[in-house]
Amino acid sequence: MKAEPICRVDDIPRNSACGFEINSNGRLENIVIVNWSDEMIAYRNSCPHTGVTLEWIPNRFFNGENTFLQCSTHGALFRPDDGFCVAGPCVGKSLEKLPITVIEKSVYLD
């Protein structure tokens, strides 16, 4: 039996991302769900550089070209498909990927 879904696939347009606050064992955690080429991917919303949340303004996670997730604090760029940092102060590190399952267009954290 799965818990409540985090969101629906249709809530996040292709090649964009949304932030969510979830309750994980009594602790609130920020996560980001990315729809990248219609694949749903979840990361902990925490920059490997200092641990801050990534977005510029609510749900604005991508750089101007819409090619990378970008940290608003010092501009690190992360590949949307695997969270690997390709530029910035934490280059070579990665966002923490979270396991999710999509069932009937609803997204669940495993």
Which residues sit at the interface with ligand FES, rule CB under 6 A?
47, 49-50, 52, 71, 73-74, 76, 88-90
- Cα separation, 15 vs 5, in Å, equals 20
CB of 92 to ligand FES, least distance (A): 13
CB of 37 to ligand FES, least distance (A): 24
- Cα separation, 17 vs 39, in Å, equals 11
C-beta of 39 vs 82, nearer to ligand FES: 82
CB of 90 to ligand FES, least distance (A): 6
Give 18's strand partners.
33
C-beta of 31 vs 71, nearer to ligand FES: 71
Q: How far does Cα 110 stand from its chain's mean position?
A: 15
Distances (CA, A) of 86 to 8, 11, 55, 60, 76: 29, 28, 17, 19, 8
C-beta of 34 vs 76, nearer to ligand FES: 76
CB of 54 to ligand FES, least distance (A): 7
